[in-house]
Structure 1
Amino acid sequence: MAINTTPSQVATSALQAIPFGSIIGGPLKACIEAQAMAAQTSWQFIQEVGLNINPTTGEKEVVNVSFSFLQNGRMAQLNVPLLTIVPIPYIAIQNIDINFKANISASSSSVSETSSSQNVDVGGEASASLGWGPFSMQASMKASYSSKKDSRATKNSQYSVEYTMDVAVKAGQDSMPVGFAKVLELLGSSLDVSDPDGSLEISARELTLPDTGKATLIATYKNSKGLFEPEAITMNGTKGKVDGNSVLFEISVAGDYSVAAGKKTAVCVVKGKESAAVAPAKEEQSK
């Protein structure tokens, strides 16, 4: 009897029909998409939390957080970029474990049975007597024949395919990219302690008019956020010439000049040549 190879062929076909590309590639694709979503979430967090859009210029600016504290007997203000003090979500997938198990079973059974019998009622009976003289013989014969024929065939086949898959994904807070780490380093170095009312500085509290008849006073102002704001500086209600972060004022008449910016004011006394020469003489007379 020949060996039935149908079960092995079915098992091989079932193994080839398993979608390995979907089984293995599906979890990998899902992890890649999850990683892309995590990166997009980090960028949205930086955009929405750490940056503001200047309504005037339309440019993005870093959000600063201001803290007021006591320093050397006076109130001071600390300006800190928000991105340097809050944890930025930067989740990265570190490991992906895919365990796949396939169980294929195939079986086939075949039963064939043949039996035959035949009933044929064919029979006969005969009798005869023979005799010669004093001898005589009686004989009788009887014959029968029967046959029967039946057939039965049974075939049973069973096939099953089963597979399981375990996927384990490990993710955690990853280190910042080199470029963004450098940005945070620069932001960290920009920490500044400022006066809540701003700070105003002038180049001199007293000036003497030179022979040319004009003296220059330089003023610099930082607002409460620690930003230079030369446009806010005025002297006796008039604006000067902006030069970078400072303002230049040309003075040609002696007198007291008040420089103001924000809540701060500073006074500069400008003297003429005559007043500068008379001052020592008065000091000698007093001696």
Structure 2
Amino acid sequence: MPAPDTRAVSELQQIPFAHLIGSPLKAAVEAQALAAQSTIEFIHKVGFKEKAEPTDLVFANPTQDADAGELRSVTFSYKKKDENDEPKTFSLTVPFLAITPIPYIRIDEMTIDFNAKLTDAVTRNTSSSFELGTEVKASYSAFWSPVKVDARVSATFNQKSSATENSQREYSMQIHVRAVQDEMPAGLSRMLDMLEQAIQETPATTPA
């Protein structure tokens, strides 16, 4: 089994995984909070009449209860037979919130994919040279004199080496977020049940 590359392990340890993973999670929590605030704003703007001085329903005065104001309804007329089996005009008043789908988005799943690719390439160049020098000298003074011979040998060996290192770093990160329409809170569901009871059908007055 080959030994792990200690340099690659060291570089991977220097990657701030806590920041890379924590930032998307924090963003998901903040997105969930914004979605909840958007639901409140939708209910306020669609379901209630606008006041003369519009205020933020949630953050206007955090020390007091929020006052949404008067319920907003839609009224329309139609004809049908009354209890005497005679055609008559009726009017129906229905709260907007009772006929409008309320967005309630929840983050159901979040997947973080992080890929790291480390590639190192080392190229070594080696060159060598060898030189050999020989010098022989001979001298004599007379035929009865001994011959003197001087020999000199010199050798030189040179070696040069160089290394070229190429490093490549590739990082990729993918975030998959899946949001769904969540079930309404118990309080909101009960409020809608009460709004259904507020639906009124009245006979329309016949103009003179």
* TM-score category of the 2 structures, normalised to the smaller one: 0.7 to 0.9
1:97 and 2:76 are equivalent in the alignment:
no
Partner of 2:28: 31
Question: What is the TM-score of this pair, normalised by structure 1?
Answer: 0.54
Partner of 2:181: 173
1:44 and 2:41 are equivalent in the alignment:
yes
Query: What is the deviation of 1:65?
Result: 0.9
1:185 and 2:189 are equivalent in the alignment:
no
Query: What is the deviation of 1:105?
Result: 2.8
The verdict on how the C-alpha distance between 1:122 and 1:8 changes in structure 2, with shifts beyond 3 A counting, is farther
Question: What is the TM-score of this pair, normalised by structure 2?
Answer: 0.72
Query: What is the deviation of 1:44?
Result: 0.9
Which structure would you say has the larger RCO, counting Cα contacts within 8 Å and 6 or more residues apart? 2
The alignment covers a number of residue pairs equal to 184
RMSD: 3.4
SS in 2 for 1:60: coil
For the 8 Å contact 1:127–1:141, the answer to whether it is kept is no
Query: What is the deviation of 1:76?
Result: 1.2
Residues of 2 paired with 1:109 and 1:43: CA distance?
Answer: 64
The verdict on how the C-alpha distance between 1:87 and 1:129 changes in structure 2, with shifts beyond 3 A counting, is same
Identity of matched residues, %: 33
The verdict on how the C-alpha distance between 1:126 and 1:189 changes in structure 2, with shifts beyond 3 A counting, is farther
Partner of 2:78: 69
Residues of 2 paired with 1:43 and 1:185: CA distance?
Answer: 18
Partner of 2:94: 80
Residues of 1 paired with 2:191 and 2:198: CA distance?
Answer: 11
Residues of 2 paired with 1:149 and 1:118: CA distance?
Answer: 9
Unaligned runs of 5+ in 1: 131-138, 199-262, 264-287
Query: Which of 117, 120, 125 is residue 106 of structure 1 equivalent to?
Result: 120
Query: Which of 151, 154, 167 is residue 159 of structure 1 equivalent to?
Result: 167
Q: Which piece of structure 1 moves more, 118-127 or 43-52? A: 118-127
For the 8 Å contact 2:109–2:178, the answer to whether it is kept is yes
Q: Which amino acid aligns with 1:61?
A: E
Larger strand proportion of the pair: 1
SS in 2 for 1:61: coil
Unaligned runs of 5+ in 2: 53-66
